[in-house]
Amino acid sequence: MIGIIRYGAGNIFSLTAALERLGIAYGMVNTEADLAQYDRYIIPGVGHAGAAMDKLENSGLVPAIKALQKPTLGICVGMQLLTSYSEEGDSDLLDIFPIKTLKFAGSPDHKVPHTGWNRVYPEKENPLFQDIPLGSHFYFVHSYFIEYDNSYTLAATDYSIKFSASIWRDNFYGVQFHPEKSGVYGETLLTNFSKF
């Protein structure tokens, strides 16, 4: 069963609705003691990365999250929290991935926020993207991105530059897009994660 880390950063109605549609069992993690009940975790998050990190620290869950051994998926800002630093709020983050979250420069051809459906290209073999064709579209809405990195980028997307649409290190995963809003392939990705 998936434990959703509750730390007050954003609405999770759409995420839980997607899990319910897919018949994936989930519960909520409010305290460290709740972690043991679950065999995998999702860290959701929307809004400001610095503010989200403050909330996560206030929850007291940071040391336990950094020590997690079970599959853990960060979504959107929940993924950015896994990196070392964000330009949003000049914030130090969890540093599970030693890479940074940066702001899109923005231009008339590449507006910010990066809003809409863009193509995602997995670059490594991983069950997270099983049964999802190369270059499938996923729904993004974000102004900050995780830099591309040979070691940690699991899937890449181009938007004026190549950035990390998905990252992977050991049991930790992240996706910048919103699988719960990304049509059939988004649902496939959530199902894949539930079966690790």
Partner 1 sequence: MLAKRIIPCLDVKDGRTVKGVNFVDLRDAGDPVELAWNYSRQGADELVFLDITATHERRKTMVELVKSVARQINIPFTIGGGINEIADADALLNAGADKISINSAAVRNPALIDELAKAFGVQFVVIAVDTRLNNGINTVHLNGGRIPTEKETLSWILEAESRGAGEILLTSMDHDGTKAGFDNGLLKKVNDAVNIPVIASGGAGSVQHFIDVFEQTNVDAALAASVFHYGEILIPDLKDILRGRNIEVR
Which stretches of the chain bind partner 1, using CB under 8 A? 11, 13-14, 17-18, 20-21, 46-48, 106-109, 111-119, 137, 139, 141-143, 158-159, 178, 180-184, 186-187
| 123 flagged as catalytic | no
* Catalytic annotation present for 76: yes
Closer of 111 and 124 to partner 1 (Cβ): 111
Contacts of 149 (CB under 8 A, 6+ apart): 97, 99, 164, 167
Closest approach of partner 1 to the CB of residue 118, in Å: 5
Would residue 142 show up in a list of annotated catalytic residues for this protein?
no
Q: Residues for the chain: how many in total?
A: 196
User: Nearer Cβ to partner 1, position 68 or 77?
Assistant: 77
Alpha helix segments (H runs only) across the chain: 13-21, 49-59, 62-66, 77-80, 183-194
> Exposed (0-12), middle (13-18) or buried (19+): which is 52, by Cβ within 10 Å?
buried
Residue 135 burial (C-beta neighbours within 10 Å; 0-12, 13-18, 19+): exposed
Choose between 129 and 144: whose C-beta lies nearer to partner 1: 144
> Which of the residues 48, 76, 114, 142 is marked catalytic?
76
Min. distance of Cβ 69 from partner 1 in angstroms? Answer: 31
Alpha-carbon gap, residue 60 to 62, rounded angstroms? 6
Which CB atom, from 76 or from 96, has the smaller least distance to partner 1?
76
Strand segments (E) across the chain: 2-5, 26-29, 40-43, 72-75, 83-86, 91-92, 97-103, 114-122, 136-142, 144-147, 153-159, 161-169, 172-175
In whole angstroms, how close is the CB of 60 to partner 1 at the nearest point? 24
Catalytic pick among 87, 114, 178, 187? 178
Query: Minimum distance between the CB of residue 181 and partner 1, rounded to whole angstroms?
Result: 5
Catalytic positions: 76, 178, 180
